[in-house]
Amino acid sequence: MKALREQHGYQHTSKRKISPREVSPPGYETQADFGEYKLKDMYGRIVRVYSFCMVLSYSRMKFVYFSPDPFTTETAIKAHNYAFQYFGGRPQTILYDLDRVYVVSENLGNIIFVPAFEKYVKRIGYSVSLCRPRDPQSKGKVEEVIGYVKQSFLEGRVYAGIDSLNSAALAWLDREGNGRVHTVTKKVPREMFIEEQKQLFHVKPYSEVSSTVASFDSNGVVSYKRNRYQIDVGVMDAHQRIRIEDDGETLLFYDTDTNELLAKYPVTEDTGQIFKPEGNNNRNRVSHDLIKQYFADHEIAQEFIRRMEQEQPKYFNSHCIRLNRMTKFYSMGQMLDGIRYCIETERCNAYELLAYMMYKHGEQIAKKFLPNQQYFNHLTRSKEIRREIDG
């Protein structure tokens, strides 16, 4: 490259400037990464151990957990649980590199996470930040910890089993890893951690969640573990597939296409029971209240809702649910434009409104939240509207 630059007259570009990262406030950021090391056991045989390291960016409080096997998504989640127990909480965000344990594909910047890891992150409630592997500018703190663990804890140690190694690691962290003055902060991590721990978020013990796909009948009843549960089907098709998540304490029923929560029931040991929503269809009332609040400043929308209730009294709640869902995908201006069309044509219902939105703003948006059969039904009406308006 030097010869080519000289031949064509290109100047050598200067090296990229490296500046220190801003100091993270207490409880904001944690960095996590994996390590690998070879130990000898008491018979002189080489044993490879794998480490999960996490460090709080503000206090430099460290945690390390060892595994005899390479980390999978499941064992990495277990290591996170141990770390949060050790720290007494979780931070707001955790910085990782693009490891296959967490990430399926970069997808041109639209990161696709491993489903089990994505579910865990949503359940625990922290944000994920990603960087390139071996990038000291981004996550040098945890890479420094990995090297420190190897040099100060693992080097020269005889392997006597993974449980013994993890027990010794916790004692080392209390004594040396978090008990000595840090070379950068010039303070003891354990002492700085007293301030940072106050900013961490408490984490409830994470339990494994079983997931089952089922369907409900035309009456909106789902059979699960010899009980029957009433589900508000709204404007969904009969026999539409839904997902049931069971964590041992609560049953959560989701629409598989939109991931919308449909119902929530406590787990019971009884059998042969039928369970109905409490509070006289509370979810329906919530949807109605939400759209009234959403359109509170727009009289034309309020008029649309009144007419919809008059024209569709039996299915009014279902149309409210659909309207509430649409507000998450269309802007206020788009919704009001569609509502004007519905009032002018005297067809005030969510079905007609969405068909018009598909005509006006394309079909791709509706594909994001409509089940296939409903999508094609709306598409048919959308084409009819196109012929009516455009001729």
E-state strands within the chain = 29-41, 46-56, 62-67, 93-97, 103-105, 112-113, 127-131, 158-159, 210-215, 221-224, 227-230, 241-246, 250-255, 261-266, 274-275
The pTM of this model reads 0.51
Angle, helix 350-361 to helix 316-326, in steps of 10 degrees: 30
Q: Tell me: the pLDDT tens digits for 268-316?
A: 888 888 887 664 444 445 566 677 778 888 999 999 999 988 887 777 8
- Please state at what angle helix 115-124 crosses helix 73-87, rounded to 10 degrees: 20
Superfamily of domain 29-199: Ribonuclease H-like superfamily/Ribonuclease H (3.30.420.10)
Listing DSSP states for 149-208 in one string gives: HIIIIITTPEE--HHHHHHHHHHHIIIIITTS--TTT-S-HHHHHHHHGGGSBP-PPP--
Backbone angles phi, psi at 193, to 5 degrees: -65, -25
**Which residues lie closer than 8 Å to 167 by C-beta, 6 or more apart?**
none
At 290, which amino acid appears? L
Segment holding 290, helix H or strand E = helix 282-294
Per-residue pLDDT of the chain (391 residues; tens, 9 = 90+): 778 777 777 776 655 555 555 567 899 999 999 999 999 998 899 999 999 999 999 999 999 999 999 999 989 999 999 999 999 999 999 999 888 999 988 765 678 899 999 989 988 989 998 886 666 667 789 999 999 999 999 999 999 999 889 999 999 999 899 988 988 889 999 999 999 999 999 886 555 556 677 777 766 788 888 888 887 655 455 556 778 887 666 788 877 665 566 778 888 888 888 887 664 444 445 566 677 778 888 999 999 999 988 887 777 877 887 888 888 888 899 999 999 999 999 999 988 999 999 999 988 888 877 766 677 888 889 999 999 988 7
User: CA 146 to CA 33: how far, in whole Å?
Assistant: 8
Pairwise CA distance, residues 254 & 251, whole Å: 10
Backbone angles phi, psi at 40, to 5 degrees: -110, 140
**How far apart are alpha carbons 241 and 246 in whole angstroms?**
16
Which residues, 6+ apart, have CB-to-CB distance to 186 below 8 Å?
A: none
Helix, strand or coil, per DSSP, at residue 219: coil
- Give the residue range(s) of CATH 3.30.420.10 domains in the chain: 29-199
CA distance 173 to 181: 13
Please, which residues have CB within 8 angstroms of residue 190's CB and are 6 or more apart in sequence?
Answer: 61, 174, 178, 179
